[in-house]
Amino acid sequence: MSVAKQLYELQELDLEIDSQEQALAQATSQLGESQALLRAQSQLQSEQKRLEELQRKQHSAEDEIEDISTKLAPAEKKLFSGDIKNPKELSSLQHEVEVLKAKRNQMEEKALEIMEQVELCETSVAGTGSELEKVKAEWQRQQQALSDSIERLKAVLADLKDKRQLLLGELSPQVVELYQGLRKERGTAVARVEQGICRGCRISLPTTELQQARSGNLVKCSSCGRILFLA
Ligand SMILES: [Zn+2]
């Protein structure tokens, strides 16, 4: 195999390595938490917090109703017992019973309102929870696919790099240095020659250069400086 052909193969390998490495970097950058997942998680947290607050309010309203009832029962019993004969005392007790009843009604209305809010909030928490599960499942699926593709890319790259090492072993250090320099300078170091034209710069090559390249010598394009490779 001519040195030009070996270098051309090296270049093909390097281009393939570059593209696989780019794909690997892209896949790696997509690993990690997703914004959609974080959003859904924080929404659920704030809804759960609101639900807990409402439930606390509901309990304290219920406690208060019970408190009032505890006071109301003996007062009513006393009122209807017929034991109290003093009209002033009777009317004062009557007033006390009415005030307690009004207070209890008010608290019962409040408790009902809170209960409705609790129910709405529970529905909302359940909805957000199942939405979060969906987002999470999708995210896990994506992460798994990314991990799989990262593993595949790493294996492909390891294989390509092995091939590259083998090829480098067949080339002299001077030739490799020339190749690396041209690659750095021009992006590609080796140019194919097709129908007498350098594919690196699209210029017709002088017959002498073509003949030298054909004979297997390492020839650089007089126009773009790339190493010429005749297939
Ligand atoms: Zn050229």
**Cβ atoms 199, 191 nearer than 8 A:** yes
**Cβ atoms 44, 126 nearer than 8 A:** no
Q: Is the pTM of this model over 0.85?
A: no
CA distance from start to end of the chain: 11
Residue 190 C-alpha to ligand 1 middle, in angstroms? 9
- pLDDT by 10s per residue, the chain, length 231: 789 999 999 999 999 999 999 999 999 999 998 898 999 999 999 999 999 999 999 999 999 999 999 999 999 999 999 898 899 999 999 999 999 999 999 999 999 999 999 999 999 999 999 999 999 999 999 999 999 999 999 999 999 999 999 999 999 999 999 999 999 999 999 999 999 999 999 999 999 999 999 988 899 999 999 999 998
Give the Cα separation of 194 and 196 in Å (integer): 5
Strand pairing class (197-198; 190-194) = antiparallel
**Cβ atoms 101, 94 nearer than 8 A:** no
Coil, helix or strand for 14? helix
Secondary structure letter of residue 226 according to DSSP? P
Residue 221 C-alpha to ligand 1 middle, in angstroms? 5
Query: Which protein residues have a CB closer than 5 Å to ligand 1 (ion)?
Result: 198, 200-201, 221, 223-224
